[in-house]
Each structure stands twice: as C-alpha cells, then as structure tokens.
Chain A
Amino acid sequence: MTAILDIRDLVTVFHTDRGPVRAVDGVSFTIARGETLGIVGESGSGKSVTAQSIMRLLEPPARIEAGQVLFEGRDVLAMSQSELADWRGASAAMVFQDSLTGLNPVLRILPQVSEHVVAHGRMAPPAARRHGIDLLRRMGVASPERAAAAFPHQFSGGMRQRVMLAIGMANEPSLLIADEPTTALDVTIQAQILDLMAGLNEKFGTAIMLISHDLGVIGSLCRRIAVMYAGEVVETGPTAEVLADPRHPYAWALAHAVPRLDTPVTARLPSIEGMPPDPLAMPRGCRFAPRCAHRIARCDAEHPPLTEIAPGRSVRCWVTMDGRQLPPPSLPAAAAPPRATEAEAPLLEASDLIKHFPLPRKSLFAKPELVHAVNGVSLQVARGESLGIVGESGCGTSTLARLITRLHAPNAGNIRFQGQDITALGGEALRALRPRLQMVFQDPFASLNPRMRVGQILAEPLRVHGHAAPEERVAALLDMVGLNPAWAARFPHEFSGGQRQRISIARALALDPALIVADEPVSALDVNVQAQVLNLMLELRARLGLAFLFIAHDLAVVRAFCDRVAVMYLGRFVEEAPAAELFATPAHPYTVALLSAVPEPGQRRIVLGGEPPSSLRLPQGCAFRARCPVARPICAEPPPLVEIAPGRRVLCHAPGSLQKPR
C-alpha cells in the first residue's frame, strides 16, 4: 500500500493579538490509497485546522510554519497558487460541516456541483451538466433533474449534505477530507450519509479522512483512528483496538464518556474534570497532565513523544508507553428507577394535546396551510421521574415542550400539573405556575442574555417572584451547579459552553421547581462536557427529587438519563416504554430503525430511505408507513395504540415485526 497522503511534523500557528497559538503542533500521519482514517478530539483540539492546513485553505493570521504535506509524493506546501488550484478539487476534495453556509445561497445547485468539472478541464459544460445530475442521483438526491435547478435553501439539511458530497466527488478525487459531515444531521439521515461514504470508499477506492467529535461515527466508518488533544496526536491505531483498549488517558476518557447503547447503565458517566490547557501557555510536560488521573512525576516535567507500543499503534504517554493498559472504569450501576406507586396522582398529566401553526398565506384568498406540530400526545410524569422524549428534528418535540411549559397554548387537549388544570391558564395564575415548572434550552449561547451578569441572570426570576435574599440564593445556586460563587459578576461570554449550560440549569433551579423541561440540554456540547453536565443533572435529580421531561435526539444520552422513554414521529408518540425495556426489545419499527441507526462500532444498520414526511399534509393511516421496511396493506388504516405489556404502548398494526439486526 502506498501512502496517498503523508504528513510530517505539521505546525500551524495562529498569530493572535495575545501571542502565537500553535493550533497544530507537530502532527504526523499517513493515509494509504483507499484507506479510511478517523480524527477525533474535542473542539479546539486542532482537527479542522489540520484538515485546512492540508488543503492550504487557511488565511492570515493562521500560518503553516513547519512540516511537510506530501500528496502522492508531491509537496503541497511548495505548490504555486496555480498548481494548488489544479490540485484542489481534482485530486483532493473537502466536505465541510455546515451544508447551509457551505453552499452559495444565490447560485443554483447544478452549477455548484459541476463548475469545477469544467474548470479542471475534465468535461465541456453540457457533459458536465449531465455528469452533475448523474452525481446527484448517485448521492441519493430525490428527483435530481428538478433538484439541479433548485437553490440551496429549498433543501433539507440531509439533502444539502448529499449535494456537498456530490461537489466533493465530482472529479473522483483520490482523497476526500470530510470535516464533521454528519454533525448537524438526525441519526437516520446520518446513517444514510455514512453509508454513502462507506460506499464511495468501497466502489471508487476513495481514501477518506473523516473528522468528528463522535467516536461512534468514526468507529462505524474508519479502520484507523488518530486522537488529537491540544494540537497533538496523542494516540493512533486501528479503531477497534483503540476503542476497546485505549492507552492514552484522554482517549480512554473519550471512549468512556460517551454513553453507549451496549454497556450497562451506570449511576454516572466517566468524565474528566477541568478544561483543555490555555493554548497561549501550554504546560511544559504532557499537555493532558493537569487533568489526568494516572499522572506520574515525569508527566509534569517532560513532554512525552509519540511512541510505538505495538505494530501500528502509538501513544503519547509516559505511563503507558511501556505497553501498560489503563484500567476499565469502575462506576456503580444505576439504582433501579423509582416505580411510581399507583395510588399517587401523577405530577404532570397531559392528554390528547394538539397544536397547529398556520403558515403565512401564499395569496390573499388562499386558505392558510397548517403545520401539524403536535397531533394528539398523551403523557404522564410521576414525581421524581424522568421521561425521555426522542425524535428527529421537525417531529414536534420542541413544540411539545413549549405546550407543557405553557409557552404555547394547545389547540386541543388537556394539561394537569400537580392536580391543577393548566391548559387555559393566563395572566396572574400562569405567572404563579412558572416557579414550579421550569425549562432548560438547547443553545447555551443564545439562551443567556449577553448584556447581563450571571448574578443578574440568576437573580431575575428570584426578584420577579419576590424572593427575600436573592444574593445568597445566587451564591448557593452557583455552588450547587459546580461553579465558583465569585463568578456571579462575570458575563456569559466569559464562560465555556458547558459552564453556560450549568448556568442555565441554575436559573431553572432558582425557584425550586417540581418539574424541569429540558429541550436538548446537552446536544450542543463536546462529549466530555456532555458527560459532566449529564452527571450534574443526575446528581441534582437524586438530591432534589426533581422530575424531568428530557428531550433529546441522542438515544444513548436518553438511555443514560431517563426512567421512561417515548419515541415521537410526526407529532405523535409511536412507542412508550420503561427505558430498559425499550432499548432491549424495541417494538415499533421506527424505534428499531432509530436504535440501529446510532453509529456504534461493529453494528449493522437498518438504513431508512427518505426523510420524515411533511407535517403540512399528514399522511393517511400510519405516518411512518412510507419509510417502514415492514409496511403492509393494513398500514393504510390508522394504527391502533396497543398495550403490549404493562406500561408499554405501541402505535402500530404489527408491533415487534421488525427485529434489531445482530
């Protein structure tokens, strides 16, 4: 096998006002023809900068200061601008994370897919157009002729990412660099894109360098993996070996911080405390030493080299460089979930909730179209219980959260909270409800007012509801969520994403609520930070006896946190069950597909075709019918809600007819 890409001691420096930041610091690796290499690390570890250094896409103040990038033996760093333009997009292509900003909003799809086929002199324009449409079809874009003439904003995220892949593959490059290509996508769409990339690698022998913070994504596609931390590669080796037996403490923490579907649920997730080192003042010794549980004296004094510990495996660690293994995590198993006693009335009870939103009229006389966001949801949450709600984007989970917290009023249905009917509360009565029912939002950057100090943010609900001594309470709250009470005078931008989410949680806790509705509270966070925040929420739940309505698209996160789980599709619950049972023996075909779509090393996927149908026109009969692998004629009838076991309800004509692949 010859190396198609050979990187040696690459150093990329950002010359900031406060001093030089070595974002990539001596990175070396090779990718062989037709190979797949995964690069994993938290944000700021230098993954993306490495990729852009290879493609020479960085602009000042970033500069490549040392090292070599050899592509099939040619020195990319020595190429002239015109040689570089000939090489880029023809021999090596790149796919970026955000397909919304990555496609030019004012140009139609087809020219974006085929312009560089013409520019590289591969084809004349008419042939390139046919080639472009053919590419779109191969990438699974529905009705490619029509799509070719469309503009990017008319496409869903999954479709746009297919277009991005088509752009990357247009000249059949021998290397494709994909930077977080599926991060913004739903699991079933992510599974489709990963399948597509695996197919490209198999069929065309395209070498793939996949960058992701998600070990599952990398594990399901890549044979080899490189783990990056603070600008350095800290461990590399075959993916399966590194995941099963990580030798660098950071790789070890990453591998265990991700909640997985195939390991027992523990009371908390392993996480590493602290934050990555300040890039302006790197530690002299090992860069991970300040956070490392296995640290020895040498780690603080000397910088460890990347050392080969077995054929094809290297690690940058003084402790394990002699071939030693790191011990598996030992954490107590989770206690059995508290069973709600039948006698006690549920804390929250909602029945047959319906919410429609009218779209703006297309013309003066047209009937306004309705978005059917929530179409008949019933649920119960007992005191101290956490109910997880899982669904893909657009299926109505966020609207449901807003109905429960009465930020919206339902069109029909009934909500009772602590025995009180809150369906139609307004004014003063609604204000009196707020302290008992709080919400945590997804985006830790947008949900905190940037012009208010943290102390003011936390004291505001206290003042509004007439709390006597807000200052003391604010200090206690900060302490409760693991932040320094002295930080109350700081502004939100001075905190990291994880710390901000802690502030959001503190704000929700300020008024001693009985129920917290958390809408994707950890999905914007890095895995390790996600584990820290989940641990905090688990601890608070146990200590304060809080009930949670926990909305997430990440099934493993829901499994780690929730007692019961409901799966939502197109505004309805299609399955509801105790967490353990749902994940062990899913009954609705959609649940089965969703579980199998979660990228886990070595797992076979059921890839659902298509995308969820539009909530503008609800399908007749079963909403999942069009994508269901086991649909049958009867599914054209509305499916019944079957109770297949105590507490297990499934909305399906044939529950259990689709089995999890092994």
Chain B
Amino acid sequence: MALFASLVVFLISNFVPGDPVLAQLGDILASDPVVVAQWRAKWGLDLPLWERYGIFLRGLLHGDLGQSIATRRPVLEDIVQFAPATVELATISFVMALALGIPLGIAAAIWRDSWIDALARVLSLVGVSAPTFWLAFIMLAIFYGWLGWAPGPGRLDPIAFPPEGPSGFFLFDTAWAGDWEGFADTLAHLILPAIVLAAATLGLITRTTRAAMLDCLQQDYVRVARAKGLRERVVILRHALRNALVPVVTLGGLAYANLLTGAVMTETIFAWPGLGRYTFRSAAALDFPAIMGITLVVSATYLLVNLLVDLSYAVLDPRVRR
C-alpha cells in the first residue's frame, strides 16, 4: 500500500509542470546550461524515470530516504527532527476533541432537542465548516493581537532555547527536566494551534457520538435494561455507551491520522516547525526526495492507525472476534 502510494506520488511529482532547477538555482544560474547540467547530474535528474524510482526503492530497503534538495540533509533526519512537533500538536488536539466531543455528544443525545443539544449541533456545524485559515487568523487576532492572552506563533518564546531532552516533545522534555517555566511556555504556545486544529475533529466526533448514542438509546437492549429497573446512569454508561463507541473509534482513528498528516495549514500559519510546514516547503521547492519521504510516512501512519482501529474493534465488540 505504502509502496503503491509512493509510486503514484513519484509519477505525479515528475509530471508536474515545474522544474526544481529553477526553484533551487534561481534565474541567473539557471540560464547557464553548464551549471544546470552539472546540477542535474549531481541530483540524478538526468537519469531515466524508472531508474530514478529504482534508486529510490533500493535506498528505501536500506532505510535511506535520500537527501533533500532544499535542506541538503538526509530526508529521514529531517522527518525525525520535525515529527515530534507535529505529533505533540496533533495529540493535544486529538485529546481535546475527544475529551470535549464525546461527553458533549452523549449529553446531546440524552437531552435531545434541549439547549445542550442545540449547542452541540451549532458547535459541530461551525467546527466542521469553518475554514482552518480563517479560524486561525480569528483566534490569533482575538487572543494574541487584541486580548494578548496567548503568545504569538512558534513553539516557544523567540528568545527561549529549546529544551534539551530525549523525546523532542517539549511538554515531556520540560517536565522531565523539571523546567516548569518552559513547560508553561510550551503549553501556552500549544493552546491556540491545538484549538484551531481540533475544531473540525471536535465537530465530527460530537456529531458521530450523538448519532450513535441516539441510535443505541432506541435499541431493544436499552429498553430491556430499563425494564430491569436499572438507574438511568447505569443504563447509559453500561448498556448504551459501549455500543455507541464503535463508530466513534472508527472515526477517531481516521481523524487522528488526519491530524498527524494534515496540519499543513495550521502549522504554516502558526510557524510551527512540524511535518506540515516541512511538507509545504518541500512542495513549494519541488523537493522530490522530501516529498517522497513524507508520502511514505503519511501512508505508513494511515496503515498503522487503521490496524489499531481494527484491533480495537475486537476489544469493543465481541462479535468481531472469532
């Protein structure tokens, strides 16, 4: 699957009307045919298409994703450097979306057509339909520019040094080192982009939880549970919720994969040094090796998350087990 995706991207990026030569060398150097030919030979761009793909595959088998044309560093190193920032942001967003979306969806289903249901519906509509760039600018304008409650773009204060730490997750690393000032600074910088990134996921999770819960509350086994004389709290938590979680898990898994790989817009606006911004820069520079590397990581992430979702079905629903 990941290989197939890499082939598709390889072909598409090679047929894109655009030349990395121009993007890298600039107008003056690119007008000199000797320099261009040298440069092409250096990066292997003079070889036939299939041979270039072969080289890529051979490197892949040795754990080598090639060298980035733009950063002049191995792509793998770039990815390892940028990934923690993205994972940290995506995970915080995901936890926020779940922690708010699931209870809100449940409450909306239980008190259907009440004010809380209306709130849930408005919130999920806005979350799903508000464009990310718009939401990001509005949040920045209000909470950074106007109220000054939140710090500006970036992962840390511009004058602060990134924490020394084993993981690259600043929250973890600062806490590990006992640097609570750094921890607070990291958290403050995380909040706005996390909210912006979480908005769409929150909308989807709320809506799915509400629909699944409404469906489960109509089921006969819920009626049986009520006929047993169980308290309503037990009926909902023990009998309805676990059945309702199955579709939420499916969606949650896909949403998490989406957050990990689709934060291009948010990361660019918030100057977040993550994979999303790396993707944007590589694409703008027609940096083929980097694009290929990112594609592989993205498809591998989706495969892994889908596997985890499938495995969690078996935990949630005994009918799936064999």
Could you tell me which A residues sit within 8 Å of B by CB distance? 52, 55, 57, 81-82, 84-90, 93-94, 96, 98, 101-107, 115-116, 119-120, 151, 153, 164, 167, 170, 362
Contact = CB atoms under 8 A, between A and B. Distances in A.
A151 B319 CA distance: 8
Contact of A88 (B219, B228, B238, B316): B228
A153 B219 CA distance: 16
Contacts of A115: 228, 230, 234, 238
A105 B318 CA distance: 7
Contacts of B232: 81, 85
A241 to B, nearest CB: 32
B226 interface: yes
8 contacts: A88-B226, A88-B227, A101-B220, A103-B221, A104-B221, A106-B243, A115-B230, A115-B238
A104 B239 contact: yes
Contact of A90 (B229, B231, B316): B229
Nearest to B321: A151
Interface in B230-268: 230-232, 234, 238-239, 242-243
B229 A85 contact: yes
A96 B228 CA distance: 12
Contact of A98 (B220, B239, B316): B220
A153 B318 contact: yes
A188 B251 CA distance: 45
Nearest to B241: A106
Given A81-B232, A106-B243, A153-B319, A55 B221 contact: no
B220 A102 contact: yes
B230 A101 contact: no
A81 B322 CA distance: 41
A82 B239 CA distance: 19
Contact of B224 (A85, A86, A103): A103
A94 B229 CA distance: 11
A625 to B, nearest CB: 31
Contacts of B239: 104, 107
Contacts of B318: 105-106, 151, 153
B317 interface: yes
- Of the listed residues B228, B231, B243, B322, the one surrounded by the most CB atoms of chain A closer than 10 A to its CB is B228
A119 B221 contact: no
A96 B221 CA distance: 9
Contacts of A153: 318-319
- Chain A to chain B: the 6 pairs with minimum beta-carbon distance, closest first: A89-B229, A88-B229, A89-B228, A116-B228, A101-B220, A104-B221
B226 A119 contact: no
B229 A105 contact: no
A230 B229 CA distance: 30
Given A94-B227, A167-B228, A106 B220 contact: no
B319 A104 contact: no
A379 to B, nearest CB: 37
B225 interface: yes
Nearest to B234: A119
B223 A57 contact: yes
B321 to A, nearest CB: 9
B220 A105 contact: no
Contacts, number: 80
A10 B234 CA distance: 30
A63 B238 CA distance: 27
Contacts of B229: 84-90, 116, 119-120
A33 to B, nearest CB: 20
B242 A93 contact: no
A629 B263 CA distance: 72
A224 to B, nearest CB: 23
A55 B227 contact: yes
Nearest to A98: B220
Contact of A102 (B224, B316, B317, B319): B224
Given A87-B229, A89-B228, A89-B230, 7 more contacts: A57-B226, A88-B226, A96-B220, A96-B224, A103-B221, A107-B238, A167-B224
Contact of A105 (B226, B227, B317, B322): B317
Nearest to B245: A106
Contacts of A82: 231
Contacts of B227: 55, 57, 88-89, 93-94
A541 to B, nearest CB: 39
Nearest to A55: B227
Nearest to A177: B227
A104 B228 contact: no
Given A105-B318, A106-B318, A167-B224, A85 B231 contact: yes
Nearest to A84: B229
B66 to A, nearest CB: 37
B230 A106 contact: no
A104 B243 CA distance: 8
Contacts of B234: 115, 119
Contacts of B220: 96, 98, 101-102
Contacts of B242: 106-107
A93 B160 CA distance: 68
Given A105-B243, A106-B318, A362-B322, A119 B223 contact: no
Nearest to B223: A57
Nearest to B242: A106
Nearest to B246: A106
A164 B228 CA distance: 11
Contacts of A57: 223, 226-227
B27 to A, nearest CB: 61
Contacts of B231: 82, 85, 119
Interface in B24-64: none
B209 to A, nearest CB: 16
A301 B194 CA distance: 72
Contacts of A105: 221, 243, 317-319
Nearest to B231: A85
Nearest to B322: A362
Nearest to A119: B230
B228 A101 contact: no
B316 to A, nearest CB: 7
A84 B221 CA distance: 18
Contacts of B319: 105, 151, 153
Contacts of A120: 229
Contacts of B228: 88-89, 93, 115-116, 119, 167, 170
Contacts of A107: 238-239, 242
Contacts of A88: 226-229
Contacts of B230: 85, 89, 115-116, 119
A119 B237 CA distance: 14
Nearest to A164: B224
Nearest to A97: B220
Given A87-B229, A106-B317, A96 B223 contact: yes
A81 B232 CA distance: 9
A362 B137 CA distance: 55
Contacts of B243: 104-106
A167 B220 CA distance: 14
Contacts of B219: 101
A151 B318 CA distance: 7
B72 to A, nearest CB: 48
Contacts of B238: 107, 115
A90 B228 CA distance: 7
Interface in B304-322: 316-319, 322
- Of the listed residues B225, B232, B234, the one surrounded by the most CB atoms of chain A closer than 10 A to its CB is B225
A153 B221 CA distance: 13
Contacts of A104: 221, 224-225, 239, 243
A287 to B, nearest CB: 28
Contacts of A96: 220, 223-224
- Of the listed residues A82, A90, A106, A151, the one surrounded by the most CB atoms of chain B closer than 10 A to its CB is A106
- Of the listed residues B219, B229, B317, the one surrounded by the most CB atoms of chain A closer than 10 A to its CB is B229
A334 to B, nearest CB: 42
A103 B228 CA distance: 12
A143 B220 CA distance: 26
A491 B220 CA distance: 29
